[in-house]
Amino acid sequence: MDWSENIPVDDDAFQYYERLGRVREFGQANLSQELPIQEVAKIAGLSPKYFTAFFRQHTGTCFRDWLASIRIDRARALLSERTRPVTEVAFLVGFRDVRTFQRTFKKLTGMTPRAFKKSVAPAVQPAADAAKTSRASGQFSST
């Protein structure tokens, strides 16, 4: 599920180029970790300088932006579950600073993490309205 429409990525490149497929698998498996370009380039079997050019040429974006995009995709999924605070989600998806997470999230989604979390919350029906709805639909509790 791709939530970060603002980062155009040629997903076919990850399937076509085996080295990019390895990078995608490694990035997704280690999302919560720091991913230095030297280490990722090694996974791709390239020098860091050539890797950055290769990645951009074949995916249409730089590695750093792609990584931020998949981190925010994962963050949206976690926030949709509504079981974790925003701060915890930020660290779980690999951000070392909550402020950077919030800025990146807003840049890619157009809303803050907290606003997103509220937007996926189910509407809470007040108890009085729930009782009216139950009576109106003929549902009575027998006590």
CB-based contacts of 45, cutoff 8 Å, min separation 6: 19
Query: What are 77's two structure tokens?
Result: 């999924």
pLDDT band with cut points at 50, 70 and 90 for residue 19: very high
Encode pLDDT of 115-133 as tens digits.
999 998 775 555 555 555 5
Say what the pLDDT of residue 20 is.
93
CA torsion angle 98 104 109 112 (round to 10):
30
pLDDT band with cut points at 50, 70 and 90 for residue 15: confident
Nearest Cα neighbor of 5 from 56, 57, 58, 76 is 76
Say what the pLDDT of residue 2 is.
45
* Burial of 38 (C-beta count, 10 Å sphere; 0-12/13-18/19+): exposed
Question: Between these two residues, 99 and 9, which has the higher pLDDT value?
Answer: 99
SS3 state of residue 66: helix
Q: Is the pLDDT of residue 140 over 60?
A: no
* pTM confidence score: 0.76
Say what the pLDDT of residue 4 is.
44
As a whole number, mean pLDDT of residues 100-125 equals 88
